[in-house]
Structure 1
């Protein structure tokens, strides 16, 4: 990288800490004030920094506008897919990615199981809102009034004996999911299918998507599938970090993950 470009880019994280004067910028870069001033003027011309009335510099509005535009144009599926594929390679089970749009939760990506017995699901297909693990995560993140309104207008078909029976039970389940940060569907939609899911979060901490691992009982039991939850959560965290532009956090020790069906 050009030394000039490198120095100019080094100014931005400095100003992210707060406004700084010319001398502070020069000292941080290890350059003469005239060099720092030249770099600041160039960044100012492009709207990336702003000179305040007290002669200190701060990040410019153009930088925030560019960041917002980049986030709006970022495809969470494109970011997530390599992570989903790697998880599928490790565990062998079906991996899904879903989003909440206009009152429905839709699958937007799927990596097929490597086993002969597979789930019937397809990209673009709505999921069963009252039982699907990905739906629970996405709806649990809604503001409380909206969450309650959604729960009260839903129907509650009894797909199996483990299906959610009514709105009060669903709201209790969403509260639990919201607190623990993950969700399951253990035979709630189909007796023979179990699923564990984790949220993908944007830069503001809100849930923008949910990913899951699903498998039939003939391949693994519900208890065996639950042991994959730490991997699922780490994968979701990695997607969140990349989608939000954050650096990856250290992996959490599996021993600290406590899971109960």
Structure 2
């Protein structure tokens, strides 16, 4: 079973002396120019459906202020603005390369007054306690250098009664989806990364990080241990992806 120590040891550049956090920032800076295209291409567009399902978990809450952690190029924040219409969304990420692309998208859509994308670390979130009604993370928590610290910081800046929604890859267990998924992730994904994003390491790290990440009951247990309430996990598309919801 995956554990937190294993997650922290999975890094993109195995020969590098940089910390995991520094490697992650560097990796996303390198692939930022192809990130959105590859997300949609490699998932056959299903990632868009996953995001909508995740955001539906917040509809009843009708949040006014939202934080999107590991926002990347801002796709999740932009979709949240469209579907939930909060007053303000703040997105944070450690990759300035990703943020630059995200800011261009936000400006082009005329959403600069609603969405702010800024440099920020999940483990030291620069906002006071109980700031946000809702917090989202899409495909980002497995990249945290310290998973528990990042999740604890998210809880700290969440208002009492507020919700966190985490969307993350998981490992399917049903035959033959498991076998096809593992083959695609292990052999095809790195080749696509090598030739399209010019980074085989980044797309070899992807399956390694998913495999190592605590999933299902293990992730629910971690969230409960940190102090979150009403923690749930819903698997999507035969277990390829999971949505975790929790309340402060």
**Under a length normalisation based on structure 2, what TM-score does the superposition of the two structures give?**
0.31
Largest Rg, 1 or 2: 1
